[in-house]
Amino acid sequence: MSLVLHNFFRSSASVRVRAALNLKGLAYEHVSYVLRDRQHQSKGFLALNPQGLVPALQLEDGSVLGQSLAIIEYLDETHPEPPLLPSDLLDRAWVRSLAHAIACDIHPVNNLRVLQYLGGELGADEQSVGAWFRYWVDQGFPPLEKQLAGDVRRSQFCYGDAPGLADLCLFAQVANNRRFDVDMSRYPVLQNIYDNCLQLPAFVDALPENHPHAG
């Protein structure tokens, strides 16, 4: 059995894992879920991943892993080349801290179920939902921009000249920002890292619009 990625084309947590699999050169199959149709809440998917969130990666032995960062770190530990985290322990923690600033502090408040709750139960109109999304990005991105602008370890990517865990999270977030008209001119360092990711097929192939089941 090959690797199977349960995912949704537009999901940014899925984009992170797709790019990681691509960087590692690992082949995988897609099973796609349309989140707006609540396919990720189906009995079948909940049996695989009781958290009911995508992505989930089904391994060769049939076991299933949820949570994109756990999946990426598992892939990095089982397929160490190219590494997605630095070898130095302090630098590893630094890269994780950048990744978590996005994956733990920005992404969760802008997740589909949060936006749906705002637009549904709380009656927010489309404009307000967009403003909410931008507000939380604009809370999280300025400190990230400042941290990376002042860090000598940054080069083409968040850490050095090869992409890693933090770039996967940044790339997915910036790609998602496009849907909500986030003003990226405020974040030249982050935009530059995103642009550098776009030079690599591993990232381009992971974009929502290049997903085999996009639409």
Residues that bind ligand GSH (CB under 6 A): 11-13, 35, 40, 53-54, 67-69, 103, 111-113
Nearest alpha-carbon partner for 162 in 56, 67, 78, 91: 91
User: Cβ of residue 12: shortest distance to ligand GSH, in angstroms?
Assistant: 5
Report the run of H or E that residue 151 belongs to, with start and end: none
User: Cβ of residue 8: shortest distance to ligand GSH, in angstroms?
Assistant: 6
User: Cβ of residue 192: shortest distance to ligand GSH, in angstroms?
Assistant: 24
Nearest alpha-carbon partner for 103 in 32, 16, 203: 16
Residue 57 vs 189, nearer CB to ligand GSH? 57
User: Cβ of residue 147: shortest distance to ligand GSH, in angstroms?
Assistant: 21
Determine the length of the chain: 215
Q: CA-to-CA distance for 187 and 27, rounded, in angstroms? A: 34
Residue 98 vs 189, nearer CB to ligand GSH? 98
Q: CA-to-CA distance for 158 and 161, rounded, in angstroms? A: 8
Residue 69 vs 189, nearer CB to ligand GSH? 69
Residue 3 vs 112, nearer CB to ligand GSH? 112
103 phi, psi to nearest 5 deg: -70, -30
